Structure 1
Amino acid sequence: MTQSNDLLAELADIDPASELAQARATRDAATRHTQGSYDVLFSQQDSDFPLVERVALAAQVADWHGAEKLRAHYRAHPAFQPLDDADRQRLARDFARRLTEEPVAAAPEHIQALRDAGWSARGVVTLAQLVAFVSFQSRLLAGLRLLQGSETGSEPHAAVAGRWHTAARTASGQTALTAFTQAELGWEPWLAAKPLAEFDADEQALLARFGHSDSDYFRLLARNQPVLEQRTLTDKGIFYTPGGLPRAERELAATVVSKINGCIYCASVHARKASQLSKDNDAVQKLLNVAPGAALAHGQSPRWAAEIEFAAALSVTPPAASLTQLQALRAQGLDTLALLDLIQSTAFFAWANRLMLTLGEPFLPADTQG
């Protein structure tokens, strides 16, 4: 990949001869498919979510995240024009702001309001993907700039555990989760997943390739399959590559972000993986048990505490990670590649949590209840 088609390298002013550029080349799949996700989202010509609306919303989301260079990039796009106050765009803006600033506040009625205003099911999914992607993109950019010695520019603010859902029942009446857990959970969509039979043979083959055929979540996201494909490849490039940051610590970062955003489902999956890989269930459970408003790193080992504090600070809105935190990580032995892995793992869950929290909710399967 050349810098000319690598937006983040351009916006972060990464020297092609630098150690950071080499680390990103080592993580080629993550680098390529992050760009690929951008390329798909901003090249589709869907009438149910036109490019002009995508660009305007992306600029607004970047602004909410304090990502000035990213905001300027979208505002300079040839298709950019300000949003109007018609119901369709006003509701999309409200949806985007909630998804940006407090995704745990999302509810089924917010999706229904979009549908009532004329948004198609595919359009709603693509809207959620776009807002979540820019949330990921803005944190990647902040992290890349930190690796080059530039502060984020955000005012310091506490990175503490966020609130989470406390209702006893899901929208469909199943047993809801009111605490973080390492148990295996179910997830129900608030917008119908696309039935497998409605995908053509090639689309079904792609779902099968990634193990998505039986998942309501992925068949919902597959209402825009090109975006889902690039997102899945980005995920695999970030979490399943050798060397650099140990896999357990990438999973730890995903869990931290989920605690910041209040995503019980994502935390259950990635805390369980962190426990299995680190063989330190007690430390992972201690993280899960942190109450809303409390610091996440209390009682952890120095290395894990430094990683938790950095991941948490990068995950708040706007991001507040600092050079001091980065230096603390280097003091714990993280080199540039490991730091890139930590940044990318953290940033990706700004994307994943926002989809999980906005398009559905977790439930406790009947066969796991006492």
Structure 2
Amino acid sequence: MRIVTFPNGVEVSCHADIDVRLDEVSDLEFGVVCQALAHELTEDARLGVTTPRAEAGLGIPADPLDVRAPQMGFSNEYLTFDLHERTMLVQVLHPAVTTGDGIEAALSKDAGRRRLAVLSAELKEYRDAKSCDVAMSVTDDMSFGEIALEAYLILARLRGTLSESDTPAAVMEKLRVGAWSTLLGMAESDWLEVKRAMYGLGDARQRFELALDVSSFANSKDGGMIIIGFGTGQDAFGRDVIDNTAGITRLEASVARIEDVIQQLVSPAPQGLVIDVFHQDHRSVLAILIPSQSAAWLPFLVEGVVLDGAKMYGQGFTWVERRGTSKRAVSLADVQLRLRPQLAP
């Protein structure tokens, strides 16, 4: 038994392989961990990361297999990393598709959403279960939290739990046809933000918050959407999920004002924005759809900064990105690092 220390100070006891929980290393970049721990692992040893269930991480309903056969259910995922080869192995137990062609077709559906390349997908059959082992290449600049989201897409897709309706466009259609109640239980995610009340557009901080929310989705690979008028509450996993679809009143006048705020504060203005109000039983809900943006327009910046958590300062800008269910400001050091290649002679 020995003690291994990660770059963030987390210490774990191990023998040959190193095992750690995702919440202990979520913010660490893969390349940094490789440099720090590669010498700790023999050629055959691996780094294992235990994560929550993929469905919980993606904010989608749980694996129906757990309902049909609870004894086969697992409370966590286990991702295996080869730090020398820079690869990750994702084992999908009880896949919904069990043919090579079916696996290939399922994996191709999310190819545009993933940053990591699939190297191989191998079907295996055991005495009481089938599995599909998916090997993926891993890039050094991704955090373990970001890598886990990539693995979740693979796991949920091959289990059959990633529905085609779990997209901004599909949610917009449900709002349009009045199928609001079907969204109950949907969790906020890397593409969905839900707000019970309208932004206070008469307040500078609230206008700034709206601009930050929109730009964070514009800066993400797949865009996203904001729903205003639904309530949220925490489920058993601690996720914020839609628990009230009653809607609110007096939203129509807000559309033009929202458009003005985005035009004034977000630069460049995101392309293809859709802002619409939907009605049902004398109540309304407003949705802002931010489609995926061309890389040529990135980054989308917000005019102004907040000082001391309260005071607005107009001379400056804020660069935010969507990370999971929240937005995170890009640090000054990261801004300089990302701009350096563009400014080099």
TM-score (norm 2): 0.30
- Larger radius of gyration, structure 1 or 2? 2
Higher share in helix = 1
TM-score (norm 1): 0.29
Higher share in strand = 2
The structure, 1 or 2, with the larger RCO (C-alpha pairs under 8 Å, 6+ apart) is 1
